[in-house]
Structure formats: structure tokens, C-alpha cells
Amino acid sequence: MPAQTLKVTKMESGQRLDNYLLKHLKGVPRTHIYRIVRDGQVRVNGGRVRPFVRLVLDDRVRIPPLRRPEPGVDASDQNLLDLTEAILYEDEYLLVLNKPAGVAVHGGTGLRGGLIEFMRAQSKDHLELIHRLDKDTSGALMLAKDSQTLRAMHAVLRQPERDPGIKKTYRTLLVGRWHGGKRELKHRLQTFRGPGQIKRSEVSSEGREAHSIFNPVTRFFEHTLMDVEIKTGRLHQVRVHAQAIGLPVAGDRIYGTADANRHIRKFGLTRQFLHADRLVFQHPIEKRQLDIHAPLPNELDSVLGQLQTQLTDSRSS
């Protein structure tokens, strides 16, 4: 690809330079984009800049000659290919997907690419993640199509309890029987680097405020199906709060126990039972109320069916 100079449009104004380049240089690895910015090969209005500088209307961005791979997708990951049929909601500002488990939201160490890279390659729109889900968590995931929508949604997520705010509800299966009804958990959470430099969270008085509301849906013999509304968005919040009260998320390899995970595998559970079930919020541009539900994946629905059959058989015998 020869050198080119692009002019920032009104829709693109406010974007960070790195995100702007990712949009225009589809297929070029993020690491290479950062390198050419750092080396001064990318210029904005003739000057050197940092990758996180925000562009404004009519800025002129010079991009050096690049060798770009042919567009395409690694068809070996069927979960990524299924994303084209996973759209829950779409308009000119927002895209909401029912993310399958096993798909990282973005590429990183050891990953060729993730959901956002795949969706950018398939779409003519500028796409940015509004929030994130763990790789092994399924469910409703929001993407913005322009910087105005992205900033508006981030403002809502920073203060979810303001009116109008956003209500995020997860459906999860906990190991153990829940006693009583709805309960609010406010254990403060601190992030640290665990084995292999993987980020984890733990309960700590020095941590950041975290607020979850657990509400039981169905009680099985040794498990409880729960709806969990999160008022804050800390790393692994639902999983760590569940572990803190001795009822970890079923199938959780980090915060659960090996014995409990082995037991639930007999019912067909091969990953953590955590699903982003529902998003309720005011549209950031059109100001109308949205209520978006992500159906439970078949593999999780099947586990619940087997647990229910066990419970029914026991009561009838």
C-alpha cells in the first residue's frame, strides 16, 4: 500500500489515533501500528504524535507505505464465524452481539485476533468495544459505531446508578445451595497479577468499591441458578463475589474448585457458567429505552435441563 494522507471527518473527530489507524488499516497488526507511530512514520498535520492523541475535524493524517495482508478470516475458529449470526440489536450507532464463549473480545498475547478484529474486518463501520466480557463468558456485548456513541456509553458505565443509567444482569450457576432471597454484596476488590502474569481480583479492604445484587432463580440439589445485577464493573466481579461467600461459579477454573468442576462436568458443563443475560439502558443518541436480552446458549441450557431432570426424578421417587 503506497503512502497516503487522510483527512479526519466529523464522524471520526474525537477518536484516538491508534483506533483511527486500526479502522483504516484493516489487517495490519496492532503492534505494527504502534511501532510506526512511535518511529514517527505516522504524522498528524506534519508533526510527530503519540498513539493515544485524539484527532479533531480536518486533521491530516499521513500514513507511510505498508505491506498489508489480503483481507480474510481464519475459518478454523467456528465461534468467530458464528458472530455474523449473533446480532441482537443494531442501528447506525450501536451493535449488540450475543458473544459465544471461547472468543476473546480482542487480540492479545498468544492470540491472533479476537472479536473486535473480526468484526472490523467484516464491517464498513468504525467499531469500538463499549465494554468487555471474559473470554469464557457468553452473552450481550455492546459495540459503538462512532466516537460520540462510545464516549456517551462510557460516561453511563462510569456512573451506572445515575438516572438514566444502565442495568447489566448476568445469569450464573453457583456451586452450593443459596439460602434466603435477594442479597447485596459489596466486597471491595483489588486487581493483581497472578501466576503467568494473568490479571485476577481478590477481596481486599484496600480495593475498589464493587456492588453486586444476587437473586436466586432455581435451587437444585447442589447448585443454584442466579440472576446477578452488577452496579460496578470490576474485573471478574461476579466470580470473585460468588467465591467470597463460598458459592463459586460452576466450572470456574480460577476461582472455583477442581472437585466441584469435575462433578458438574458430568452434566455436560465444559466452561464457566456465566452469561451476560440482559442490558437495559437509554439509547445514548436517540434517548429511547432499550431492553436487550441474550438467549442462554444451548450448552448451558442443556446443563440446566439435566439438573432439573435429576431434581424432578428425586422428588417423584
Under CATH, which number does the domain 4-63 receive?
3.10.290.10
Residue 194 has pLDDT above 50, yes or no: yes
In tens, the pLDDT along 36-52 reads 888 888 999 999 998 88
| Average pLDDT of span 74-96 | 72
Whole-number pLDDT of residue 142:
97
- Taking the domains of the chain in order of start, what are their residue ranges? 4-63, 78-316
Whole-number pLDDT of residue 73:
43
User: Which residues are marked as active site?
Assistant: 134
Cα 43–44–49 angle (5° rounding)?
Answer: 75
In tens, the pLDDT along 102-153 reads 888 886 544 456 888 888 877 777 789 999 999 999 999 999 998 899 999 9
- 60-69, 105-114, 169-178, 300-309: range with lowest mean pLDDT: 105-114
What are the cell numbers at 109?
Answer: 498475547
| Average pLDDT of span 82-93 | 82
For strands 274-282 and 138-144, give the pairing: parallel
In tens, the pLDDT along 201-257 reads 999 999 999 999 999 999 999 999 999 999 999 999 999 999 999 999 999 999 999
What string of DSSP letters covers 237-283?
A: HHHHHHHHTT-PBTT-TTTS-HHHHHHHHTTT--S--EEEEEEEEE-
Query: In CATH terms, is domain 78-316 a member of 3.60.15.10?
Result: no
